[in-house]
Structure 1
Amino acid sequence: MPFAPQIKIPATYMRGGTSKGVFFKRSDLPEAAQQAGAIRDQLLLRVIGSPDPYGKQIDGMGGATSSTSKTVILDKSAQPHHDVDYLFGQVSIDSAFVDWSGNCGNLTAAVGAFAIANGLVAAEKIPENGICTVHIWQANIQKTIIAHVPITQGQVQETGDFELDGVTFPAAEVQIEFLDPADDGEDGGAMFPTGNLVDTLLVPEVGEFQATFINAGIPTIFLNAADIGYEGTELQDAINGDAAALARFEKIRAYGAKQMGLIQDIAEAEKRQHTPKIAFVSGPKSYVSSSGKAIGEQDTDLLVRALSMGKLHHAMMGTAAVAIGTAAAIPGTLVNLAAGGGEREAVRFGHPSGTLRVGAQAVQENGQWAVKKAVMSRSARVLMEGWVRIPQDALK
């Protein structure tokens, strides 16, 4: 019986922020996978090792978590005044599904570095020493992101002393600006899709909750921790080991997605795993992070715990951090109230791995809230580069 040979595809395995993913230049993909469709999805699923009923992704590059089951496709930008087009695919672990509905803010930190190193940024823009400003077009959400990438002797500088909670080793700091991070109305409405800063969310057989629905960075549902029986200090095992709790969160997320206008029927949430995110907030409290680091009440403005792809995230998704910073800047949201209320241009929040600071400036225009940009610092590093291999018949 003949067996299909393996094909090899140029790829780079990178850490960006607190996530890891497999990066491709679009032109390096097999021709049939260079455009959206089943062939591209099949390729990425096989590269990552999904669907895997064992939930381990042993036969692929995925790490069996939402933070490590990620793919990125980059190309020279077709948009004016941009350097690179960035397309992100969140690969389901146990089902044959790639979610293209949102961005990965953490991997954004690696996009600029990859683009510079792989000839996607014009050589005249890259200094011998200093900062290279990379204009990124985020194709999933049709937004501009600016990455400030350090350069030493004409090469991307990856090592440094910047420490990011949730990442073991220090690295070079990459500042990321998310321009006009709120939704423009094409997918679920404006920044506040219901027009309210706080809504009532009724979930059959679960309960009635106060919620802030926001489209900024990524569509997100914020709840008060106390309303759902939590302190806000929880680590992953407290929630991810509780199947009933995860099912309850998913049901709340589905009904929230419908109220936000992102889906028309509750059943559609199963095919939209990446968005919206669901998170819960509380005022600052002391706790011990997953690394054993003591976080004092005075170290944060508030605490936030967020779920991604059905599990509590080990740190914080970069896009959700944008949503947190944006909501914190707008008086009256649940996030703002948890941080003490009032006006603010930056917030430091506690997450399971430590703390993170994100800045956002909110203004009112014609009676509507707007945020021009959100800013945070991340880091990125190439872990491996060369080729990934997949069986040729995976592309049938």
Structure 2
Amino acid sequence: MPERLRAAFYRGGTSKAVVFRGEDLPEDQALRDRIFLHVLGSPDAYGRQLNGMGGGLSSLSKVVIVKPSARDDADVDYTFVQIAVDEPLADYGSACGNMSSCVGPFAVDEGMVAVSPDQSEALVRIYDTNTKRLYHARFPVKGGKAVEGGDIAIPGVSGTGAPVVLDFLAPGGAATGRLLPTGNPLDTLDVDGVGALSVSLVDAANPVVFVRAAHLGKTATELPGSLDGDTAFMSQIERIRCAGAIAMGMAASAATVKRSNPKVAIVGDARAFNSLDGKRHAPDSHDLNVRLVSMGNFHRAITLTGGMCTAVAAQIPGTLVQDLAQTKTPDLRIGTPSGVLNVTARVETGPEGPRAVSAGTYRTQRRIMEGAVLFPDELLEDRN
């Protein structure tokens, strides 16, 4: 007989995930991961996850775990698990900014955070266990439940919804412990098959290797499919990613670099581009263009953590991101394959260098399904 496990299925920003209450999951991580892989339908040699709830893309193959927090400064703890599509891998090594937008509403709707019937807005304080950082989520509520309907549209999502305003506190050094892991706003990597390459290595919300698109023969206006289909270019990107990880102290060799982090972003100046919905975006509609790689493919929009890291990098003197952006204000408009993402960041510079005070944006979210996921009871057997 199949086992049943309580769960909900959410869209958060431009991603989807199966969301679990922490109390419902087994304590053994290996057992949890086997369940997660089965539920999402991984590994899938066909890359479609038809036998599970995944969607064949990194942005659609995710798990979120939420539980009440023991911390005085947080209401709930949030753990993100990236499920690889093509291999049996459950990766805890990165955060997901898009799915972070569903955590507060889930906590309210599940009764983890009490909201009175007469409240019109909720504030949920969330501790991200992946990055060991705090963020706050504000969103409208009615009758003690999260409101989903609204008039806010975000790039990459059809329709509109209620805003979830996210404020990530002190996002610097989320993975490496330092906003600038090498101490420099600009570094030179010696990449096999590429040569000497100028990059900015920034760790805010998630670590990102920023590269000028022009140095790789691109403009950062390309659509993801055309970039993914360029196998020689994708091989270059992976070598750049591994070299960046080693330079940031995240791995000792290319063989030990995790798939989830760091990300790679190719960055170009603000120029006209067509988004995936066919809309034409003029150069004055955004401040720079970014195409970002996540889990081996170019994202169809941009990871939210990547967007916030870009906003932080744009506020750090000497980075190639600041050099390319046509604004020096805290508010940044990023041209992505799905349209323009608005993000903001506040960076202060002191005797020890730049410090990321906060980064934020807004998303929408939707609780699509609730109930239970099923998995075979043999997954519970001891495999030692």
Q: What band does the TM-score fall into relative to the shorter chain?
A: over 0.9
User: Aligned to 2:172, what secondary structure does the other structure show?
Assistant: coil
Contact 1:52/1:93 (<8 A) preserved: yes
Which residue identity does 1:318 align to in structure 2?
Answer: L
Deviations 1:198-233 (A, max 9, x none): 000111122221100011010110000000110110
Aligned to 2:331: 346
Deviation, 1:86, is 0.3
The amino acid across from 1:148 in the alignment is R
Q: In the alignment, what sits opposite 1:101?
A: 93
Assess if the C-alpha contact under 8 Å between 2:179 and 2:356 holds in 1. no
Contact 1:52/1:95 (<8 A) preserved = yes
Which of 107, 112, 115 is 2:107 aligned to? 115
Contact 1:282 / 1:302 at 8 angstroms: preserved in 2?
yes
Deviates more, 1:370-379 or 1:204-213: 204-213
Give the match for residue 9 of structure 1. Answer: 5
**Does the CA contact (< 8 Å) of 2:15 and 2:59 recur in 1?**
yes
Alignment partner for residue 162 of structure 2, among 152, 160, 172?
Answer: 172
**TM-score, structure 1 length as denominator?**
0.94
Question: Which residue of 2 is the match for residue 88 of structure 1?
Answer: 80
- TM-superposition CA deviations, 1:130-159 (whole Å, max 9, x none): 210000000011000100021123221001
Residue identity in the other structure for 2:148: E
Pairing 1:298-317 to 2, within 5 Å after superposition: 298-317=284-303
Kept in 2, the 8 Å contact 1:26–1:34? The answer is no
Change (3 A) 1:224 1:126: farther
CA drift at 1:34? 2.9
Partners of 1:98 and 1:346 in 2: how far apart?
34
Alignment coverage as a number of residue pairs? 381
2:186 paired residue among 198, 202, 206: 198
* Amino-acid identity (%): 38
Q: Can you list the C-alpha shifts for 1:296-315, whole angstroms capped at 9, x where unaligned? A: 00000111110100000000
What's the secondary structure of 1:344's corresponding residue? coil
Q: Which residue pairs with 1:145 in the alignment? A: 135
Q: Distance in 1 between matches of 2:380 and 2:282?
A: 51
Residue 313 of structure 2 corresponds to: 327
State how far apart, in whole Å, the 1-side matches of 2:23 and 2:34 are: 17
Q: 1:13 touches 1:23 (CA, 8 Å); kept in 2?
A: yes
Q: State the shift of 1:322 in Å.
A: 1.1
2:284 is aligned with 1:291: no
8 A Cα contact 2:63 2:82, kept in partner: yes
2:156·2:339 contact (CA, 8 Å) conserved in 1? yes
CA contact (8 A) 1:189 1:261 kept: no
- Tell me the alpha carbon deviations over residues 324-366 of structure 1, each in whole angstroms, 9 at most, x when there is no partner: 110011222111111037x421110100000011111111122
Q: Aligned partner of 1:346: which letter?
A: D
Query: Any conservation in 2 of the 1:288–1:294 contact (CA below 8 Å)?
Result: yes
Cα distance in 2 for partners of 1:140, 1:63 equals: 23
2:172 aligned to which of 182, 202, 205: 182
Alignment match of 1:210 (pick from 195, 198, 202): 198
CA distance in structure 2 between the aligned counterparts of 1:128 and 1:247, rounded to whole angstroms: 55
Whether the aligned pair in 2 keeps the contact of 1:329 and 1:346 (CA below 8 Å) is no
Q: CA deviation at 1:126?
A: 4.4
> What residue number does 1:379 align with?
364
Q: What stretches of structure 1 of length at least 5 have no aligned partner?
A: none
Out of 221, 227, 230, which is 2:209 matched to?
Answer: 221
1:34 is aligned to 27
Give SS of 2:334's match.
strand
Deviation at 1:129, TM superposition (A): 3.6
The superposition leaves residues 70-112 of structure 1 with CA deviations (integer Å, 9 ceiling, x where unpaired) of: 0011100011121110000000111111110111000000000
Which residue identity lines up with residue 145 of structure 1 in the other structure?
A: Y
Letter in 1 for 2:357: K
Structure 1 pair 367–127 and aligned structure 2 pair: CA distance change class (3 A): farther
Aligned amino acid, residue 95 of structure 2: N
What amino acid maps onto 2:199 in structure 1? A
- Structure 2 residue 227 is matched with structure 1 residue 231: no
Q: Which residue number corresponds to residue 260 of structure 1?
A: 248
The CA distance in 2 between the partners of 1:308 and 1:262, in whole Å, is: 16
Assess if the C-alpha contact under 8 Å between 1:199 and 1:212 holds in 2.
Answer: yes
Question: Retained in 1: the 8 A contact 2:307–2:334?
Answer: no
Is 2:322 aligned against 1:336?
yes
Q: 2:36 pairs with 25, 38, 44, which one? A: 44
Alignment partners' CA distance in 2, 1:192 and 1:394: 42
Which of 349, 367, 386 is residue 352 of structure 2 equivalent to?
367
Residue type matched to 1:9 in 2?
L
| Structure 2 match to 1:156 | 146
Is residue 270–residue 326 contact of structure 2 (8 Å, CA) maintained in 1? no
User: How far 1:395 moved relative to its partner?
Assistant: 3.1
Q: TM-score, normalised by structure 2?
A: 0.97
